[in-house]
Structure 1
Amino acid sequence: LDLLQIINYGNRTTSDGVISLMPNPSTRFTGRTEAIAKLKRHFFTNTKDAVHKRKFFLLYGMGGIGKTQICLKFVEEMNDSFSQVFWVDATSSGTIIQALKGTCQLHGLDCSPESALGWIGSLKENYIMIFDNADILLPAALEVYFPPGMRGNILITSRNSAMMTLTSPQNSLE
């Protein structure tokens, strides 16, 4: 996976106006090494099963404390470990659908959220899907956008600690 491709992914607009939503990392972001180390341990401790069993993790807390930047730094440091990185602006159902349409267009799929989720769920490789800013949706409303199957990884950022019902207290970090 080409890191430049991931970072530049946020700078493209597609022909039908769908904007890819991968933010650019802050050049001023430093620290939070404990949080990044916890993500690495969580997603890569049992690497033998990493491709075969889906793992979930939640970063939650007040707005502006660096949840998105932690995710960006984690992806930057671990980019060789993921075959695909799917960045989803989870501000609303509409922004999630927009991100899934962008995935369809990038991979030449029928442009429906169901097609994108089905394709992602069928991947055999170790992918990560990041749902960023899942602050307003209820956990059940976000969960419908998880790809089918048990592979890949899901990382969620939210101000809403109730999202912990999708992970667990031990798979969450405030």
Structure 2
Amino acid sequence: MTNVPAINTFIGRDSDVNQLWNILQTQASNMRKVAVLHGMGGIGKTQLAIHFARQHKDEFTAIFWVNGKDENILIRSLAAIAPRLRDRPIDVVTDMKNEEQLKQEAQEVLKWLSQEKNSNWLLIFDNIDQYAPGDNDVHGEGAYDIQKYFPSADHGSIIITTRLKRLAELATSSYLLQRLPLKKDSNFL
């Protein structure tokens, strides 16, 4: 019987993880670093970001994951971080808060990330597949400007996963995630 890796085992992409680390190294620069992972849906952008965060969790003082599927989900995702910053349990009644309360809590999180001595964090924006720079929704219903949700300070590290190549304009470094090459494995033939 062959040893088959567990489903949650991350294989391959070592060079991609190393490339991300070269971009986001906390000691490399005090300035903000933004890595944009773009490519086809299902290619592994989210899984790469998860694996990177797990592998480098000790290199950052905080790691936050936010869902950017649309602007409302992004705001809720940021707002859900606020209780953790106050050393409170995650607020399970987030759904019952009004839009203004959620926006205020999201802004609290961005302010916390912008604090001068708080520069060693990683913020992952996942699934930013709708983008409209500025306040114009020129690319379709639901598009928004992700830059509005960047912390105001010029420090920290950000990963953006997206299908949109044009988001590379926001990055200090971006790259197209390619398919993993298929290898013939005699154990599976």
Structure 2, unaligned stretches of length 5 or more?
1-6, 88-100, 135-144, 177-189
| Shift of residue 139, structure 1, vs aligned partner | 4.6
More helix by share: 1
Deviations 1:29-82 (A, max 9, x none): 3111111110011112x7152xx2110110000100000110111111111100
Query: Max radius of gyration: which structure?
Result: 2
Structure with the bigger RCO (C-alpha within 8 Å, sep 6+) is 2
1:66 aligns to what?
Answer: 44
My pick for the range that moved more, 104-113 or 62-71, is 104-113
TM-score of the superposed pair, with normalisation by structure 2: 0.70
The question of whether the paired residues in 1 share the 8 Å contact of 2:123 and 2:159 is answered with yes
> In structure 1, which of residues 136, 158, 162 is the aligned counterpart of residue 162 of structure 2?
158
Query: What is the CA-CA distance between 1:138 and the residue it aligns to?
Result: 2.5
Gaps of 5+ in 1: 1-25
Write the mapping of 1:124-163 to structure 2, written as runs, cut at 5 A.
Answer: 124-140=118-134, 141-163=145-167
1:35 aligns with 16
Q: What's the Cα RMSD here?
A: 1.9
Query: Once superposed, which parts of structure 1, at least 4 consecutive aligned residues long, lie more than 4 Å away?
Result: none
Separation in structure 2 between the aligned mates of residue 143 and residue 53 of structure 1, nearest angstrom: 16
Q: 1:117 corresponds to which letter in structure 2?
A: L
Is contact 1:139-1:162 (8 Å) kept? no
CA distance in 2: counterparts of 1:139 and 1:155, whole angstroms: 18
Q: What TM-score results when the alignment is normalised by the length of structure 1? A: 0.76
What is the one-letter code of the residue matched to 2:150? F
1:47 and 2:39 matched = no
